[in-house]
A and B are shown apart, each in its own frame.
Chain A
């Protein structure tokens, strides 16, 4: 159960957004990818989840290449992407948004079990099932987006800036929930964040990228204690 990315290159027209990027993520790890705006973090996740075509390199999941596999089929292989910006469908109800997570799955009993787990973890969603998702706060929408992903029973969860635009207290709750979920479900997680401090606190490892290349990587502890990195990339 590993994700191997080797010499990955992704271009947006003439601009190379990801250049010769390589890393490996093992089963059960939570790895955070840190970098400033425009570092290529979102591009990397979109390439991994099949939303963007790659122009070079290799990506494999459990020993099989996932290059060219469509996003809707990667979900069936256990790779589930929660895209940037509270990825819910505001025109649908909370309940319908959750149903989307299991919409391709046959095992109705397990969908119900997964939904119950999500509601247990995020009770506020349970209280608002019949409301429109547009009535939720930013934090609740992020919970809904993560909840939907969990109902798909992911093995590899790709999270794109779950803290974006949220108040510090809510960010804390979201990160605690991610931490709890990954331990309870044995998830492998790639967490893309600008909020490096919070991310490193729950991550096993961090990979710092800049202009589409890996700057450095290491355990969360190493990265948090490296004073030159702190100044340059972690911003405190």
Chain B
């Protein structure tokens, strides 16, 4: 029973990070119908910027908002400089649907090689002051550590702020309206182009926080967030791609699922498990667990 409970807690911690990545992908998908492979690149760049900020500020916690801001700006820049002109130019052509996806792969490659040029390809340590050694209760040490707790709290705070903005502000209503019905939104006076860029900025911020929270549990290198991108996609698909709540729940389901596979089956199958879960969900319920219309409200 203790093992079960511990596994759940650990899964919750990694799930919180997948939720953020999944949210980043869903935000972009909803607002511009782009499957954004560049999300991993944007997150790695913002994480390196967070790493630099930590060297200057000597404070891990202060480096997170720096990474968040950098992530938002990078993502907004990608949308405004590449994606928006590309969408306009490819409109009505046979490549309209695929050109933006290929462009995001291009951006991913470009950012990765740029990061490699600046920081090198070696593994860097972007560490938090918190211990990754599990809490000790009585005489047993559980796998859930202070770092895990910080991850859950950090991700929850960001998700709560996002939820408040989406639910209760004019900006949030504009973001939702523009993603559902761009034309009616324009006729209501919403500057849809600008709102889409802001949607990308929110996505960039979410993936930046995911990168800054997950990296202290591993290491930092130009490819170190690739697995996070895959997990983010799987979580987004589980959640139905359209729903923000679905994105978060999908991340938690995946994180907890991984933790149990790791605990009861073994490390070697974790990565393939992600793809098996992905394909099973797609075959059984292609619209995802939350992929029904009502859930699009949030």
Which A92-144 residues have a C-beta within 8 angstroms of B?
Answer: 92-93, 96, 99-101, 103-105, 132, 134
Kindly list chain B residues whose C-beta atoms are within 8 Å of the C-beta of A34. none
Which B174-192 residues have a C-beta within 8 angstroms of A?
Answer: 174, 176-177, 180-181, 183-192
Task: Tell me if A49 is interfacial: C-beta within 8 Å of chain B.
Answer: yes
Task: Tell me if B89 is interfacial: C-beta within 8 Å of chain A.
Answer: no
Task: Tell me if B139 is interfacial: C-beta within 8 Å of chain A.
Answer: no
Known: A99-B173, A103-B170. A76 touches B297 (CB 8 A): no
A93 to B297, CA, bound (A): 8
A83, A91, A96: the one contacting B187 at CB < 8 Å is: A83
> What total of chain A residues lie within 8 Å of the partner, measured CB to CB?
29
Task: Tell me if A148 is interfacial: C-beta within 8 Å of chain B.
Answer: yes
Kindly list chain B residues whose C-beta atoms are within 8 Å of the C-beta of A103. 170, 173-174, 177, 188-190
Task: Tell me if B88 is interfacial: C-beta within 8 Å of chain A.
Answer: no
Inter-chain contact B173/A72, CB cutoff 8 Å: no
Task: Tell me if A211 is interfacial: C-beta within 8 Å of chain B.
Answer: no
> What total of chain B residues lie within 8 Å of the partner, measured CB to CB?
21
Minimum C-beta distance from A87 to chain B (A): 5
Inter-chain contact A72/B183, CB cutoff 8 Å: no
Known: A83-B184, A103-B170, A134-B293. A91 touches B176 (CB 8 A): yes
Task: Tell me if A203 is interfacial: C-beta within 8 Å of chain B.
Answer: no
Inter-chain contact B186/A89, CB cutoff 8 Å: no
A89 to B187, CA, bound (A): 12
Kindly list chain A residues whose C-beta atoms are within 8 Å of the C-beta of B180. 89-92
Question: Interface residues, chain B, CB within 8 Å of chain A?
Answer: 170, 173-174, 176-177, 180-181, 183-192, 293-294, 296-297
Question: Interface residues, chain A, CB within 8 Å of chain B?
Answer: 49, 51, 70-72, 75-76, 80-83, 87-93, 96, 99-101, 103-105, 132, 134, 148, 152
- 12 A-B residue pairs with Cβ-Cβ distance under 8 Å, sorted by A, are A70-B186, A71-B187, A72-B192, A75-B188, A89-B177, A89-B181, A96-B177, A100-B184, A100-B190, A103-B170, A132-B297, A148-B188
